[in-house]
Amino acid sequence: MIKNELLIELTEYIELVINDYTLRTITLGTAILGAVTGMLGSFAVLRKQSLLGDAISHAALPGIAIAFLITGAKDSNTLLLGALVSGLLGTFWIRGIITKTHLKSDTALGLILSLFFGFGMLLLTFIQKQPNANQAGLDKYLFGQAATLVESDVWMMAIVTGVCLFVLLLFWKEFKILLFDKDYAKTLGFNTKTIDILITSFIVLAIVLGLQTVGVVLMSAMLLAPAAAARQWTNSLSKMVLLAAVFGAFSGVFGTAISASQNNLSTGPVIVIVAAVFVFVSFVFSPSRGLLFKQIRFIKNRRDLQLHKTLAFMYHIAETHDNISHPHEIKILNNFQGYTKSTLKNLVEKNYVTIEGTTWSLTQKGFNSAANLYNQLSKKDE
């Protein structure tokens, strides 16, 4: 029954998404945004530039304010252009600080982030005092308001995503080689500086796109979370980029759905939390890297080791007798560290040992495998 109701609600919601203009725009917008940030975020994460996104998104704020001061209009495209310019300026200043002085990258990031943001706030408060009725709503860029998305914004996002995708595919091998072996790329004659600037610019572009939807403060999570989640499932760059895009898009769609179904829930934070859930699930349940399976593997290895240790111990006892299946008391195992009742049971199940009453005896199979125990190990090591 409950399942049915849920299904009905879900179909109703989907119908709403298709028919309702606002909801459709927002869902599409956040989905596209999630996809493009996930895609480019993969590069940011792998290049160890995770916090760059945070710095850039904050650094974009004065650009928005200045663009407004110059044009006096709240056209989102001009404002985003301003954000892009000031984001790029911040990025290159960060680069300048890291390469030209002995300040480290974290200091450079923190500096640019807080200084640009503070300057942006100064400008915003300055604008608010101006006798211009048009200024209200600039602060939506602080925390983002998905509800203000209109169709033209979504088109803009779609176009930018298309361009990103095109450039990404065009320069795929350059990006890839720069990512994993910069020096090699240089020796092959690639202009690493240009590629570097290209990809950083695209990351800035993606961040700026998202400002209107999730805002300055939470933008960095949009960049990181899908990529960090995708990283856990694969070791291949192309798969990771694809997965990150999918995770990002789904975070956008689910986040919008959850915030639309409740009152007083702003979309940005909800999307971030949904993305964080993706990350959490990936961290725990990913088959190869996940914490859960890692723990299971750990326990299994320990058991195997105990089993082998017990078997070896028995082997050394049996060795001293002519008949290898000569029965011994179980008690003598008690002093041995690796021995537990379950290991003994496992040994019996594997037909290595037979038990009669309170005695055990090694079978021929057990003897052989114990004799080869270390050989096998050393063979595996090779």
Whose tokens are 């792998």? That residue is 46
What's the closest the beta carbon of residue 166 comes to another protein, in angstroms?
27
Site residues, another protein (CB under 8 A): 45, 48-51, 53-54, 96-97, 100-104, 106-107, 109-111, 113-126, 129, 139, 142-143, 217-218, 220-221, 223-225, 228, 231-232, 264-266, 268-270, 272-273, 276, 279, 283, 289, 291
Closer residue to another protein, CB minimum distance, 86 or 346:
86
CB 223 → another protein: shortest distance, Å? 8
Any idea which residue has 């530039």 for tokens?
Answer: 49
CA distances to 272, 275, 296 from 290, rounded to whole Å, are 21, 17, 10
| Burial 257-282, CB ≥16 within 10 A → b, else e | bebbeeeeebbbbbbbbbbbebbeeb
Q: Residue 251 in contact with residue 225, Cβ under 8 Å?
A: yes
3-state helix, strand, coil in the chain (%, to 5): 80, 5, 20
Q: How far is the CB of 221 from another protein (least distance, A)?
A: 3
CB atoms within 10 A of CB 174: 18
Between 107 and 363, CB nearer to another protein: 107
Q: Token digits for 237?
A: 């760059």
Closest distance to another protein from the beta carbon of 51 (Å):
5
AA identity, residue 296? I
Q: Nearest distance from residue 56's CB to another protein, in Å?
A: 12
Task: Select 232 or 256, whichever has its Cβ closest to another protein.
Answer: 232
CB-wise, 119 or 336, nearer to another protein? Answer: 119
Nearest distance in Å: CB 203, another protein: 13
Q: How far is Cα 44 from Cα 226, in angstroms, rounded to an integer? A: 11
Rounded least distance, CB 282 to another protein, Å:
8
Q: Which is nearer to another protein, 222 or 344 (CB)?
A: 222
Find the shortest distance in angstroms from Cβ 294 to another protein: 8
Q: Which of 125, 137, 116 is nearest to 59 (CA)?
A: 116
Looking at the Cβ atoms of 255 and 366, the one nearer to another protein is 255
| Alpha-carbon gap, residue 237 to 230, rounded angstroms | 10
Whichever of 9 and 106 has its CB closer to another protein, that residue is 106
Residue 247 or 367: which CB sits closer to another protein?
Answer: 247
Helix (H, G, I), strand (E, B) or coil at 334: coil
First to last CA, the chain: 59
> Which strands form 353-356's sheet, in the order they lie side by side?
328-329, 359-362, 353-356
Residues 43-75 as b/e (b if ≥16 CB within 10 A, e otherwise) read: bbbbbebbbbbbbbbbbbbbbbbbbbbeeeebe
